[in-house]
Amino acid sequence: MKAGNPEIAHTSTSLAALFLAAVLLGSPAQGATYEVGSGLSLETIGDVPWESLAAGDLVLINWRSDPYNEKFVICAAGTESEPIVIRGVPGPGGELPVIDGRDATTRSELNFWNEARGLVKIGGSNTPSDCHPEWIVVENLDVRSARPPYSFTGRSGLEDYARNAASIYIEDGDHIIIRNLIIHDSGNGIFGSSAASDVLIEGCHIYDNGIEDRIYEHNNYTEVNGIVFQYNRFGPLRAGCLGNNLKDRSAGTVIRYNWIEDGNRQLDLVESDHDEMVALSSYATTFVYGNVLIEHDGEGNSQIVHYGGDGGDEAYYRKGTLHFFNNTLISTRSGNTTLMRLSTSDESADVRNNILLVTEDGSRLAMSNENGTMDLMNNWTKPGWVDSHGTLAGSVNDGGGAVTGSSPGFVDETGGDYHLEATSDCIHAGADLAASVLPDHSLLQQYVVHRGTEPRPVDGALDLGAFETCTTGDCTGSGDEVVEPAPELPPDATTDPSTDPLVDPSADALDDPAADPGADPDDGDESSGCGCSLVS
């Protein structure tokens, strides 16, 4: 995805079909434009009249050399044809405008609760009073540093961020797009609650979040009705942080065409504790495909994916099927690697057309931790893998089509190019996709390093893994989206506690209560539900 070009085509998913032309390519069709930047009439983000945004409005935040140390709430309703768009305008080298939570201030006209929980907040306010945002796009920004020991000035004066504060906090809202953001150095990177629906997270770089010595904060923590993650780069958490990379409790979860690296687990797909969410038919079916999953030696849990639940009340567990296909896994652990933990006998996984590479001996790879039913078909592995490294209470069923060898035949395994050489045994070795994933989850795209996408070539039978190799030289992809990768920008050292004079590294050594409110994605400190009637 090209950071210098904010006009990005949309996904071809059924969820994203809701986001039509006005959301796809540019400015809203009508409405006011508020342009923020040095030398303009609106020099600060706080100069924007956020309390009066309306359908079709466009907020342009121009890059400047200094960050915007400001925070705000978006609580207004756009429409399908006239969304409300918050857009960063990149600098001359593709640099995204920075919104930094350290010492941030808020426009005095705004009044919203859970200030300590987020830097850019969607939904949940007293002023403006409309508390159900719809058709919101936030794109092309670097949003960082909402966590202890940092503080901000809010409606009650100086206040510290909560440990589970997020760069992007979606408390409420429908039809929300988070696109081409750099999200880092917060407790949670993205946080989404059960009052939100139809959320698209696209083309973002999400990394270096979490709180030291705590398991409760993650690069992503969401619990919404309908969510798609695509074309994102999920990097490791902050050093010493024990959370997961992508943790999700949503219904209708789709995770496709992403690069996901490390974390306690790369994917932690567990239960909602909301009856209305659990009752949705989409709650029991999850789709994970076309991703690159990387596990480095010395990372936390040896399990790559967890599917089911973690709260102990199995009545709320997912009790459904995880469709896990055409992913590429690379684990360099010196010990054991387990592909998947299914929480109970009621969870199952259809695992097909994947490349599952451990750099150690093949016996170091186990398919299942203990429970559930796993059906395998046409996966590449080293020989010698085992059903489980422990006691298998469930079942691992081999449906045939397995491909084994010492190497899957990557173009450059050491250099991280996991496309297949033309001589790879993984080419044309895939099985047909399960009928239950079609047509909505056909393999139409593939990831482009980093944060880009291109149509996946159509060249006979499917290749294994996340990337298709065109062997004929004339392969037409069936996808309709080309997004160039984001430019590689110089690393920013300002969020490194060892070099940043604003950071006291010892200040994160906080007591950890046995029952931590940060473990609940729907937790709020001042309201339940929308809370529009709250005035303080």
Check pLDDT > 70 for residue 520: no
Q: What would the two tokens of residue 5 be? A: 């070009």
For residue range 314-367, what is the model confidence (pLDDT) as tens digits?
Answer: 999 999 999 999 999 999 999 999 999 999 999 999 999 999 999 999 999 999
Q: Which of 96-110, 193-207, 501-515 has the lowest mean pLDDT?
A: 501-515
Average pLDDT on 174-188 reads: 98
Average pLDDT on 66-78 reads: 97
Check pLDDT > 80 for residue 457: yes
Check pLDDT > 50 for residue 13: no
Q: What single-letter amino acid sits at 170?
A: I
Q: How far apart are CA 460 and CA 458, in angstroms?
A: 6
Q: How far apart are CA 443 and CA 291, in angstroms?
A: 11
Check pLDDT > 60 for residue 493: no
Q: How far apart are CA 306 and CA 164, in angstroms?
A: 22
Contact 52, 128 (CB under 8 A): yes
Average pLDDT on 212-230 reads: 98
Place of tokens 């060898």: 405
Q: How far apart are CA 37 and CA 44, in angstroms?
A: 7
The better pLDDT of the pair 527, 431 is held by 431
Contact 336, 303 (CB under 8 A): no
Residues 55-68: b if buried by 16+ CB within 10 A, e if exposed: bbbbbbbbbbeebb
pLDDT of residue 490: 54
Band (498; pLDDT cuts 50, 70, 90) = very low
Mean pLDDT of all residues belonging to the chain: 87
Q: pTM, whole model, 2 decimals? A: 0.88
pLDDT of residue 512: 28
Q: How far apart are CA 172 and CA 273, in angstroms?
A: 17
Cβ-proximal residues to 108 (8 Å cutoff; 6+ apart), any chain: none
Average pLDDT on 289-311 reads: 95
Nearest to 117 by CA among 253, 228, 221, 244: 221
Q: Which of 64-78, 102-116, 205-219, 485-499 has the lowest mean pLDDT?
A: 485-499
E strands, 8-165, in order: 33-36, 58-62, 72-74, 84-89, 98-100, 104-105, 118-122, 134-139, 142-144, 151-154, 157-160
Band (482; pLDDT cuts 50, 70, 90) = confident
Band (489; pLDDT cuts 50, 70, 90) = low
Query: Residue 514 — φ and ψ, nearest 5°?
Result: -60, -40
pLDDT of residue 349: 98
